[in-house]
A = this chain, B = another copy of it.
Amino acid sequence: MATEISPLAPKSYAQLPPIAGVRIETAAAGIKYKDRTDVMLMVFDRPAAVAGVFTTSKCPSAPVDFCRANLADGQARALVVNSGNANAFTGKKGREATELTAKSAAEAVGCKPSEVFLASTGVIGEPLDASKFASVLGTMAGSASGDRWLDAARAIMTTDTYPKVATRTAKIDGVTVRLNGMAKGAGMIAPDMATMLSFVVTDADIEPGALQTMLGRHVGSTFNAVTVDSDTSTSDTLMVFATGAATERGAGAIRSASDPRARSFSKALAELMEDLAIQIVRDGEGARKQVEITVTGAASAKAAGRIARSIANSPLVKTAVAGEDANWGRIVMAVGKAGEKAERDKLAIWFGDVRVAVDGERDPGYSEAAASDVMKQDEIAIRVDLGIGRGKARVFTCDLTKAYVEINGDYRS
């Protein structure tokens, strides 16, 4: 496993303030790793509204199944997350493990198992020994406090080289509410609903339905717009919890996502989600460069998205970026294979501000030196204009380096 921290890691981590209504604790349950925390408990002393989106995988993990079932009630009292074992493709044993974990957490917190939410990340296919949680959750619930956000983000890491946290504020009825979020994920990242694992908590009072609507509105342009390796996980989970504690300070309840009073919150939520999503790309396994791909002029937004993803997932484009090679022919290839409408002779391509191709051939003013200068940067913008419509999309990815192959050639063993 990689121990070297990504060169794209943040210079310093955001300072997350406490959020009224939630307490956090971490512990080392010895699930797989030695000498590090691997379990995180979030306690909501009063029921929090909860919304979530999950992997579209046809082989979802047991915790994903468990959360989907509990989400119907829209109320959360506890969240338990472990790293080191994904509890995915574990059959009946997997379901038993989720039930035992939820029962232990419910006892520790004093709630029903249906108010507990679970997420697991790590190896697929190995039975998870949930009795390891049972023994620590009681103690954790007692010692949980409001200032453990960075510890929590560390406890849920697998091949991540840094913890991912972000914080925003918004106004409701003139009162400042807070949003804190964390995420994990570095490989098996091509979320098709949400990323590996991400949890956002706010003290705003937002009804589950409204929260779910806002989450759904922003997930497409944030977590679903990042890809590390085109491999969609069995365990993708993104949940937002609203404790409602800010009502005590005068921030009234939001009952509908279309309430104009929700605008500031919705915007802050979108920003927070984008911040976390980009942090995942910047910690992509073996990543040395962040790549932002913008497609404009496509037949539709959906077509633009497919083309952007075709570029972002192309091993040849990603290795060219790793090699700092301004190989724009591979962008042409990726546009061509996407299966969406494209007219070769209307296509234009930019690396950064340098237009390298136009009207279906190399730009007459093409400068290899100028294009190469762009490729030497840490953050590379690639833009493609199809010239046939108004469809637009943006996708974030990273390069494909030898380190990715190394990390994934011996991750499990």
Is A8 interfacial (CB 8 A cutoff)? no
Is A50 interfacial (CB 8 A cutoff)? no
Pairwise interchain contact B88-A332, C-beta atoms closer than 8 A: yes
Pairwise interchain contact A229-B323, C-beta atoms closer than 8 A: no
**Size of interface on A: residues with Cβ below 8 Å to B:** 74
Interface residues of A in 296-345 (CB under 8 A from B): 313-316, 319-320, 322-323, 325, 327-330, 332-345
Please give the distance in Å from A406's CB to the nearest CB on chain B: 7
A57 — which chain B residues lie within 8 A by C-beta? 333, 336-337
A313 — which chain B residues lie within 8 A by C-beta? 230
A252 — which chain B residues lie within 8 A by C-beta? none
Please give the distance in Å from A359's CB to the nearest CB on chain B: 6
Nearest B residue to A412, CB-CB: B327
**Which residue of the partner chain, among B86, B329, B337, B409, contacts A89 with CB atoms under 8 Å?**
B329
Pairwise interchain contact A60-B411, C-beta atoms closer than 8 A: no
Pairwise interchain contact B361-A125, C-beta atoms closer than 8 A: yes
Please report the C-alpha to C-alpha distance between residue A361 and residue B96 in the assembled complex, in whole angstroms: 13
Binds B, one of A142-150, A173-181, A185-193, A256-264: A185-193
Pairwise interchain contact A409-B329, C-beta atoms closer than 8 A: no
Question: Taking the full assembly, how many copies of this chain does it contain?
Answer: 2
A410 — which chain B residues lie within 8 A by C-beta? 323, 325
Is A102 interfacial (CB 8 A cutoff)? no
Is A362 interfacial (CB 8 A cutoff)? yes
Please report the C-alpha to C-alpha distance between residue A341 and residue B56 in the assembled complex, in whole angstroms: 12
Is A21 interfacial (CB 8 A cutoff)? no
Is A94 interfacial (CB 8 A cutoff)? yes
Is A404 interfacial (CB 8 A cutoff)? yes
Pairwise interchain contact B402-A330, C-beta atoms closer than 8 A: no
Please give the distance in Å from A19's CB to the nearest CB on chain B: 33
Please give the distance in Å from A237's CB to the nearest CB on chain B: 14
Nearest B residue to A361, CB-CB: B91
A411 — which chain B residues lie within 8 A by C-beta? 325, 327
Pairwise interchain contact A125-B315, C-beta atoms closer than 8 A: no
User: Which of A93, A316, A361, A409 counts the most B-chain CB atoms under 10 A from its CB?
Assistant: A409
Please give the distance in Å from A400's CB to the nearest CB on chain B: 6
Known: A92-B361, A316-B231. A125 touches B405 (CB 8 A): no
Known: A58-B339, A315-B408, A334-B231. A90 touches B402 (CB 8 A): no
User: Please, what's the 1-or-0 string for A226-248, where 1 marks a CB less than 8 Å from any CB in chain B?
Assistant: 00011111100000000000000
Is A73 interfacial (CB 8 A cutoff)? no
Please give the distance in Å from A354's CB to the nearest CB on chain B: 14
Please report the C-alpha to C-alpha distance between residue A94 and residue B412 in the assembled complex, in whole angstroms: 49
Please report the C-alpha to C-alpha distance between residue A123 and residue B126 in the assembled complex, in whole angstroms: 45
Is A124 interfacial (CB 8 A cutoff)? yes
Interface residues of A in 41-83 (CB under 8 A from B): 55-60
A91 — which chain B residues lie within 8 A by C-beta? 345, 359-361
User: Please, what's the 1-or-0 string for A109-122, where 1 marks a CB less than 8 Å from any CB in chain B?
Assistant: 00000000000000
20 contacts between A and B (CB under 8 A): A56-B337, A56-B339, A58-B335, A58-B338, A59-B336, A59-B344, A60-B344, A89-B347, A91-B359, A94-B361, A231-B333, A231-B334, A231-B337, A234-B332, A323-B410, A323-B413, A401-B405, A402-B405, A402-B406, A405-B405
- Contact residues of A with B, CB < 8 Å? 55-60, 86, 88-94, 123-127, 187-188, 190, 192, 229-234, 313-316, 319-320, 322-323, 325, 327-330, 332-345, 347, 357, 359-362, 400-402, 404-406, 408-413
Closest 9 CB pairs of A and B: A323-B409, A124-B329, A91-B361, A59-B336, A57-B336, A319-B408, A232-B337, A58-B342, A125-B329
Given contacts A188-B316, A320-B409, 13 further A-B contacts (CB under 8 A): A58-B335, A58-B339, A58-B341, A59-B347, A89-B360, A125-B329, A126-B362, A187-B316, A230-B314, A231-B330, A231-B337, A234-B336, A405-B405
